[in-house]
Amino acid sequence: MTQLVNNAAGNLAGASEDFSLNAWRAVTGIVLDGTWICSTEFARRRIADGRGGAILNIGATYSWTGGPGTAHSAAAKAGVTNLTQSLAVEWAPDGIRVNCIAPGRFPHDDLP
């Protein structure tokens, strides 16, 4: 089965009130637009070939909770979650599964 993993991420450290429109657009463009562009191209090819496939989008837990300095990234990842749900329903008849996972933080203090 042909698969696609969308693992786009972007974040600019800083206070939300200090983000420029360009900073906002850069992060949301990478995360949300990038996921949509890759997903739709994948689906176009799979639908044209009459074959299904699977898409896995990588979300983020802070898209539900928010956090300081993450407004742009959290908003984009929340969009990825909703995009996943919409595409899953739309492309199911074409045999394309679309899922999203949101890995949590990984401890790293004790890594060598």
User: Is residue 62 annotated as part of the catalytic site, yes or no?
Assistant: yes
Residue 61: CA count within 13 A, CB half-sphere: 4
Q: What's the Rg (C-alpha) of the chain? A: 16
Q: Is the pLDDT of residue 111 over 60?
A: no
pLDDT computed for residue 68 by the predictor: 87
Each residue of 34-65: pLDDT tens digit?
Answer: 999 999 999 999 999 999 999 999 999 988 88
Catalytic entry in 62, 63, 77, 83? 62
